[in-house]
Chains A and B, each alone.
Chain A
Amino acid sequence: MAPLMVGAFYNPHLGAELAAATGIDHLAMADPPAPQDPHWPAIKERYTLLLHDYLGQLSEPLDERAIQRARSLAALYDTPWVAEHFQCLHTEDGTYNLNYVFPPLYTEEFLARFVANANALQARLDQPLVMENIPGFFDVQASQMPEPVWLRRFFEATGTGFLLDLPHVWLEAHYRAMAPESWLAEFPLEHVVELHVAGVEEDGDLRGPWIAPTAPSDEMLAFMAHAVAKCPRAKAVTFDAFSPSLTADVLVGSVERIRSAL
């Protein structure tokens, strides 16, 4: 297995620190660079950049405008792959929008929709498409199969890569009162191209842990090491934190700790 790239998200408010940092192989881009971002030229020159923007939800076909935007960003970043999420966060007519990642129902109908629309998007991209798992805080009775089964069938039908978000798996295991390693073993790890690692914190509304822009715990890093050993095609691990409250110390320190734990 080739050495894994270890990186983080580009947080523009930390542009100066990231432009000068060492020990970071890549940066994922959640938003396009601001036109007046003084650090962008140095960032673009220095790092491998991964396109990880919101392109659209693949429960519906992406329109031409969204496809052209994806192609344009992929070219700007010279990204090795393009990432999207298994999400369905707004109603089909656009009336309601959660503005936060939310998983689809795990049904045959949604599987067919995501397969068709991911294939259509992949055909218009010059880079491989990878898809990220999204955590559910509650089960919806209408789902017809477990999430890992649905994901396996999706990857087998499309040939796309898997962006495995480990805190998402950890959270689902927590709320199902399962061991994270046992829940992880259900997922199609042979398709994993990239892994996300992050910290979790208690949330007052959820009355339990959720993803937060904080350093990963030792437990999460051990879970990452366990997972990486089971992902033979993995190429990168990314510290998944993108927030105005994130500090340079946490970002750089987390990347160092991830590298040490691998």
Chain B
Amino acid sequence: MSDRAVQDDVIRALADAPYRASAAWRCRALADPERVERFARFLARHFYYERIVHFFKYSRALARVTGRRPEAVLRQPGFDALLPAVVLGSRASARAVCRLVVDHVRASDPAVPYQDDLLRYEEAMMVVEAGPRVWPETVTGTSPEVVAGTALLELDYDLPQVLGRLLQSWTSPPEAPRQRTTVLVARSRHGRVAVARADGVVASVVQLADGTRTMDDLARAAGLRPGELEATLQGLTEIGAVRFSTGS
């Protein structure tokens, strides 16, 4: 085993709590298990602090009126209870941490009417950012496929109109127009999360692009001309929502 592979094993043990508890790791006896456990817990709290502060920044801005800071969950028993199962960067762990945040921040009498939409939006951003960073380069394939984790969100309020203002100075929370809005949340292979408004064309392509339909099949199913489909797919590929599968 190369030294690089040993280092990978140490990194995995720090990131992956079930692996850290396994006989496969423990029998290697590479480091003091108690020190490794303490450092892993420190890393987990740091890892999710960074993500909660970033992805729940709008709820954080609203903490002036809600009194609920999203990152407070990291010091609550619910987070400690997750630690034995946490895998840093996994979508399941991101989802579990988001549930804690949403339950903590959501109020029965919210300070803003769009709070539920906002929390769903922030949760989607954080969950989409998680998951494997690497997938095969299959751009030569011919079957468009939605990248795992990409999310279409149906909102009751036009959140994109209010997000920027939430981060500026305000005396009372800015209002969002009550208007059905669809947004697409996706992540590039370099980990950048992007959000775009989605019209009916985008929504139907995202719902139909399952990696089995050819471009012609997809155009027929979505009721689009080839040029329209190509333009839509180009935009979706750029933000990381769609890749091209070889169909294998």
A residues near B, CB below 8 A?
59, 88-100, 102, 104-105, 107, 109-110, 113, 137-142, 203, 205-207, 210, 244
Contact = CB atoms under 8 A, between A and B. Distances in A.
Contacts of A91: 8, 11-12
Interface string B27-52: 00111100110110111011100100
B180 interface: no
B4 A137 contact: no
B31 A89 contact: no
Contacts of A140: 6, 10, 30-31
B88 A206 contact: no
A203 B133 contact: no
Nearest to B1: A142
Nearest to A207: B38
Interface residues of B, number: 33
Given A59-B7, A100-B46, A205-B42, 15 more contacts: A91-B11, A93-B8, A97-B89, A99-B47, A99-B88, A99-B89, A100-B43, A104-B7, A110-B7, A137-B35, A137-B39, A138-B32, A140-B10, A206-B38, A207-B38
A93 B15 CA distance: 14
Q: Sorted from nearest, which 9 A-B pairs have the closest CB atoms?
A: A138-B35, A205-B42, A109-B3, A96-B15, A205-B41, A91-B8, A94-B133, A137-B39, A107-B3
Contacts of B4: 59, 92, 109-110, 113
Residue of B12, B36, B38, B132 most packed against chain A (CB within 10 A): B38
Contact of A105 (B3, B14, B15, B38): B3
Nearest to B132: A95
Given A105-B6, A113-B4, A244-B53, A96 B47 contact: no
Residue of A92, A100, A138, A142 most packed against chain B (CB within 10 A): A138
Contacts of B24: none
Given A59-B4, A98-B47, A141 B16 contact: no
A152 B88 CA distance: 33
B28 to A, nearest CB: 9
A83 to B, nearest CB: 20
Contacts of A203: 42
Q: Is the interface of B mostly helix, strand, loop or mixed?
A: helix
B108 interface: no
B2 A96 contact: no
Contacts of B134: 93-95
A141 B50 CA distance: 30
A96 B45 CA distance: 16
Contact of B11 (A102, A113, A206): A102
Given A95-B132, A96-B89, A138-B31, A102 B14 contact: yes
A141 B8 contact: no
B42 A99 contact: no
Contact of B39 (A88, A92, A107, A138): A138
B11 to A, nearest CB: 5
16 contacts: A88-B11, A89-B11, A91-B8, A92-B4, A96-B8, A96-B11, A96-B15, A98-B88, A99-B89, A109-B2, A110-B4, A113-B4, A138-B31, A138-B39, A141-B30, A205-B45
A22 to B, nearest CB: 26
A99 B50 contact: yes
B37 to A, nearest CB: 9
Contacts of A100: 43, 46-47
B7 A97 contact: no
Contact of A96 (B16, B36, B38): B16
Contact of A98 (B2, B14, B30, B45): B14
Contacts of A96: 8, 11-12, 15-16, 88-89
Nearest to B33: A138
A137 B38 contact: yes
B88 A97 contact: yes
Contacts of A207: 38
Contact of A110 (B3, B31, B89, B132): B3
